[in-house]
Each structure stands twice: as structure tokens, then as C-alpha cells.
Amino acid sequence: MRLLLIFLIFPTLLYADQGVNISCVNMKNLLEKNPRTHKFKFDVVTFQYFDQNKNSFVEVANKNMIIKEDFFAARFPEYELGFQINVFEDDKKPIMSMSKYDYRNNIFLEHYICDVQVANIN
């Protein structure tokens, strides 16, 4: 009986690690009725992006990423996705933006505005 009670109470005492769910929209498409949303997940060990062609999340280990105080980036063979936290003087709420950067040709390809939601990791 005591063992059953411990199993019922113990899960409520545990807390999951937290990560973030990130949804980004291309700034060129903000005014469209249904702009395409790009989905990402970022936690303690992985960065995940939703691959439309595979219809699933693809993982990149954090050890393979560039991570700084207010910036992180995932590098792929063709481009880099860089996420930046922006804080403006008159606005107290930070805004996340993402840039798709062609590091071979040293040009930015696209710019996105992102929504960030804290999520518990299972």
C-alpha cells in the first residue's frame, strides 16, 4: 500500500526540464492571410526543426551549434539559421528574430519574426 502511495505522489513532485517551442514567419509574408509557419524546438541537448519534406522533426545536437548569450545558430551545408533576441529601448518585451544566412556567399537570404513559448520537455 505504501509503495502504491509513493508511486502516486512521486510523479507530482518531479519537474521536467524546460525548453522552448519557436514558431517563425517570414517578414515578407506577414500580411498574408495564412502565412507559412516554420516550427522549431530548442532544449538543453537538441535543436529541432520541422522538415516539411519528411513531415517530422530533425534533431541537431547543441554541441554542433553556435550558442551565445542572446544568439544561437544551427549550421547546415547550404545555410545557417541564426536566432537573435532583440530588446528595444522603449519596449520591455524582447522579440526573437531568425535570419537565414548563406555563409558561403556572405549574404542574408530571409528574415523572420518569431513567437517563443516555454515548454516542458518529456
Residue 112 main-chain phi, psi, to 5 deg: -130, 150
How confident is the model at residue 13, as a pLDDT?
46
Which one, of 49, 61, 108, lies nearest residue 80 by Cα?
108
pTM: 0.76
What is the grid cell recorded at 41?
524546438
pLDDT digit string, tens, across residues 44-73? 889 998 888 888 888 999 999 999 988 999
| Structural domains of the chain in order of their starting residue, each with its CATH number | 15-120 (2.40.128)
pLDDT at 5 over 60: no
Nearest-5° angle of CA 26, CA 81, CA 36? 25
* DSSP reduced 3-state for 13: helix
Decide if pLDDT at 106 tops 90: yes
